[in-house]
């Protein structure tokens, strides 16, 4: 799957593994993320499959950059993938809920402290979606002149916003429930 995230970005412009990590962190991290090391190994695999090609870009006073470019085969693979519909619901994993499910023997105060901490974290996250992420999308959209693309990016930002609002609401409900 990470494969397609990388092809997707490279379909806009060439980039190094380092660049791709930065791009993901400010754009898709809301619904797709990866460690730097995994990005490097996946890029290598993509080059082996001839979906991308790379060349070294020498730099003074900085380590050399290995810059990747998508190939025609890569573009086709990407397009095939986007055109293929998903016919199932994605299943989630939420460590916090798992813990909560099995926490009946715990002191209620311990649970409540954890939920309150989560609320703080999610409130900070929500602000990020509403300010930084929104700004980043605007910047990209205007600088590259891609209003149409930005429309889709905005829908994914909106998901993050709605999700986090929902999460906070659930935390509020749950906290109230356990306090009473």
Q: What is d(CA 180, CA 166) in angstroms, rounded to the nearest whole number?
A: 21
Between CA 43 and CA 51 the distance in angstroms is 9
56 binds a second copy (CB under 8 A): no
Q: Enumerate the H helices of 13-146 as residue ranges.
A: 17-26, 36-48, 72-83, 95-101, 108-128, 134-144
Q: Please work out, in degrees rounded to the nearest 5, the angle formed at the alpha carbon of residue 68 by the alpha carbons of 141 and 156.
A: 35
Q: Is 80 in the site for DNA (CB under 7 A)?
A: no
Which one of 40-48, 49-57, 59-67, 94-102 is the stretch in contact with a second copy (CB under 8 A)? 94-102
- Minimum CB separation of residue 91 from DNA in Å reads 7
Task: Dig out the tokens for 33 from the structure.
Answer: 């993320």
Does residue 52 bind DNA (CB under 7 A)?
A: no
- If binding is defined by CB under 8 A, does position 72 make contact with a second copy? no
Query: Which residue, 29 or 118, is less far from DNA as judged by CB?
Result: 29
Distant-in-sequence contacts of 143-152, Cβ < 8 A, 24+ apart: 144/12
Identify what 95 binds: a second copy, DNA, none; CB under 5 to 8 Å per kind.
a second copy
Interface residue list for a second copy (CB under 8 A): 1, 4-5, 8, 11, 27-33, 78-79, 81-83, 85-106, 110, 113-114, 117-118, 121-122, 125, 146, 148-149, 151-153, 155-156, 158-159, 162-163, 165-166, 169-170, 173-174, 177-178
């Amino acid at each position: 799957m990470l494969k397609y995230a990388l092809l997707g970005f490279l379909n806009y412009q060439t980039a190094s593994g380092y660049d791709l990590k930065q791009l993901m962190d400010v754009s898709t991290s809301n619904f797709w993320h990866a460690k730097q090391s995994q990005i490097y190994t996946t890029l290598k695999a993509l080059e082996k499959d001839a979906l991308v090609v790379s060349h070294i870009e020498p730099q003074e006073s900085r380590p050399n950059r290995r810059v990747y470019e998508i190939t025609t085969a890569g573009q086709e693979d990407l397009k095939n993938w986007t055109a293929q519909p998903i016919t199932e619901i994605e299943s989630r994993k939420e460590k916090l809920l798992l813990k909560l499910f099995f926490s009946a023997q715990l002191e209620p105060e311990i649970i409540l402290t954890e939920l309150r901490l989560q609320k703080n974290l999610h409130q900070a996250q929500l602000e990020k979606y509403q300010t930084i992420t929104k700004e980043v999308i605007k910047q990209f959209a205007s600088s590259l002149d891609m209003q149409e693309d930005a429309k889709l990016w905005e829908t994914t930002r909106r998901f993050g916003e709605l999700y986090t609002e929902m999460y906070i609401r659930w935390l509020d409900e749950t906290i109230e429930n356990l306090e009473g």
